[in-house]
Amino acid sequence: MAGTDTSIKIELLPTPAVILCEPQLGENIGTAARAMANFGLLDMRLVRPRDGWPNEKAIATASRADHVINNVRVFDTLEAAIADLTLVYATTARSRDMKKDVIGPDEAAGRLVAHIHGGQRAGLLFGREKWGLLNEEVALADMIVTLPVEPAFASLNIAQAVLILAYEWRRQSGQAETLPFGSALADVAPRSELVGLFEHLEGVLDGSGFFTSAEKRPTVVDNLRTALTRGNFSSQEIRTLRGVISSIDRRHERPNPNRQKPATKTED
């Protein structure tokens, strides 16, 4: 979805760090940074990126998530990357032969929110594109976060996994309670304008002989009003509909350029 608005100032709030272990492709770093920016995460940390840093492909695919890309930090070890964190979750789609609690993204996000709102730092750990996290890396985490994916096809692209966790973070933190632009219901016309539409339409239908049965007229009117009420029309839409009704009502006053004139009979 397109929707970047550079006129809106980005609010820099405390968020979880996203730690990528030995990412191989710059494109995956860039798209992960873009996913972070989409949902307000700011702190990206890279552990031994294969192609080094900075990476032109990452910058290109970040699609102007400059506030994330420009603050990327690179570490030689995972231990150094998480040294300042007091809560770390490892993301993986594979069962591990270790005693670690396993939670879903919604619960993980809720715990992260509580932890960070309490003044602490936390992070989400993501593994390599080909084989994910090593067991010794998972061992450094407090818990495992996994997604309810299809077991036969459980592998996710790094950016996809980051996006899901970032979305859950934003939702659980209360920043996603309202959508970024208002509901169309905010522009619904006042009831007086809708009643005016009813009366206009019914008056024209009366004049055209539409109501052939006086007994059935109230039922037909009720059905029309019920259908029109469901439209939640704006004032502009009601003006347009009334213009259509007026145009149909005056059609007999205008010449029809498409109407063919009767052929004139010629004498032999």
Domain 17-172 in CATH 3.40.1280.10? The answer is yes
Asked whether this chain's domains 17-172 and 184-252 adopt the same fold, the reply is: no
75, β-bridge pairs: 47
Where in 73-225 does DSSP place strands (E)?
73-75, 87-91, 102-103, 122-126, 143-145
**Which of 143, 129, 128, 148 lies closest to 96 in space, CA to CA?**
143
Query: Any idea which architecture 184-252 has in CATH?
Result: Orthogonal Bundle (1.10)
What pLDDT, on a 0 to 100 scale, did the predictor assign at position 217?
93
In angstroms, the CA 265 to CA 268 distance is 10
Q: Is the pTM of this model over 0.85?
A: no
Q: Where are the domains of the chain?
A: 17-172, 184-252
Tens of pLDDT along the chain (268 residues) come to 445 555 556 666 789 999 999 999 999 999 999 999 999 999 999 999 999 999 999 999 998 899 999 999 999 999 999 999 999 999 987 777 778 899 999 999 999 999 999 999 999 999 998 888 999 999 999 999 998 888 778 778 899 999 999 999 999 987 655 555 555 555 888 899 999 999 999 999 988 889 888 899 999 999 999 999 998 888 999 999 999 999 988 876 656 666 565 565 555 5
**Which of 93, 37, 45 lies closest to 65 in space, CA to CA?**
37
143, β-bridge pairs: 89
**Which of 174, 249, 156, 169 lies closest to 210 in space, CA to CA?**
249
In angstroms, the CA 170 to CA 165 distance is 9
- Mind giving me the DSSP string for 227-256? HHHTT--BHHHHHHHHHHHHHHHTGGGS--
In angstroms, the CA 76 to CA 78 distance is 7
